[in-house]
Structure 1
Amino acid sequence: MPKDRAPRANYAYFREMTTRWRDNDVYGHMNNVVYYEFFDALVNLWLIEEAALPVPEAEVIGLVVETGCVYHASLGWPRGLVAGLGMERVGSSSLTFRIGLFAPDEDLAAAEGRFTHVYVDPATRRPVPLPDGLRAAAEALRAAV
């Protein structure tokens, strides 16, 4: 049974992104691994711009421990896309992001992803509590939708 497509209203932080010729596969649509590149870029833009986390020089780093994607419709070059970000969960040392990728003129997501980061000490790679600024930004993103 197909999953319902999320609307833009389910996301609070948006970025227009450019697709490239090489993003398309032999079937004429964007290859599935490229969706994850957009997810990763969006999350890191949010970390830098909204959470003031100086990637990659921050006192903590986020390691991806779980990802997933539901594909609803094709995206690909030459059309750009709009990426939307929401926060699903704020843990003691982890964040679970929700990402929607949209065709520029569509209100319903063409793809919906999740990314869970566990934040760790860069030297030991052991989990650490979320820094106050990151936690505050994550809670604000979660409350925004």
Structure 2
Amino acid sequence: MSEKTYRPRREDFRRFYTIGTRWGDHDSYGHVQNVVYYSFFDSAISHFLVEQGTLDIDSSPVIGLIVESSCTFFSPITFPDQVTVGLRIAHLGTSSARYELGIFCNDEPTVSALGYVVYVYVDRASNKPVAIPRLVRDELLTLTD
């Protein structure tokens, strides 16, 4: 099965966040703009990290920087749809994590879009890669299979 035809289902993800689409999210064709999907990804990951107490946006000494991202689109989302972002960790390295995110439209069982974001964890002051802190790693492990 090709990657383009592989459409994960809700049960393939470990954590979920619901986000409403906004009037300005759509393009002239009535579809949510591609860039907004990346905002959904960023919001879900940040929400998870803050909720778990592993990220203080203003003062965490170790932060995750995005070094790679991608999104495959399967079916359109429009306004006023509800979006649920499914979150899981596909790979957890020493200083990096690959988050996989499924965008679900309303109550659909399969993804409308599937993306990934690779974070490299760095020292905030030096911007040099460091090992993922134990507290962060423990929370990220809850998102793995």
Please classify the TM superposition score into its range, dividing by the shorter chain length.
Answer: over 0.9
- Asked if the contact 2:55–2:63 (Cα under 8 Å) also holds between the matched residues in 1, the reply is no
User: Shift in Å at residue 52 of structure 1?
Assistant: 2.6
- Which amino acid in 2 is paired with 1:41? S
Distance, in Å, in 2 between the alignment partners of 1:56 and 1:134 is 16
What is the match of residue 78 of structure 2?
76
CA RMSD of aligned residues (A): 1.2
Deviation string 1:44-72 (CA, Å, 9 cap, x unpaired) is 01111135322242111111000000100
Which runs of 5 or more residues in structure 2 are unaligned?
A: none
- Which amino acid in 2 is paired with 1:38? F
Q: Name the count of aligned residue pairs.
A: 143
- Which amino acid in 2 is paired with 1:32? N
Q: Percent identity?
A: 36
Q: Map of 1:86-101 to 2, 5 A cutoff?
A: 86-101=88-103
Out of 17, 20, 40, the residue aligned to residue 18 of structure 1 is: 20
Secondary structure at 2:54 match in 1: coil
Distance, in Å, in 2 between the alignment partners of 1:7 and 1:126 is 36
- Identify which range, 134-143 or 27-36, moves more after superposition: 134-143
Moved over 6 A (4+): none
Distance, in Å, in 2 between the alignment partners of 1:107 and 1:56 is 37
Deviation string 1:72-101 (CA, Å, 9 cap, x unpaired) is 000121111111100001110011000001
- Which amino acid in 1 is paired with 2:116? R
Which runs of 5 or more residues in structure 1 are unaligned?
A: none
Q: Map of 1:123-134 to 2, 5 A cutoff?
A: 123-134=125-136
- Asked if the contact 2:61–2:125 (Cα under 8 Å) also holds between the matched residues in 1, the reply is no
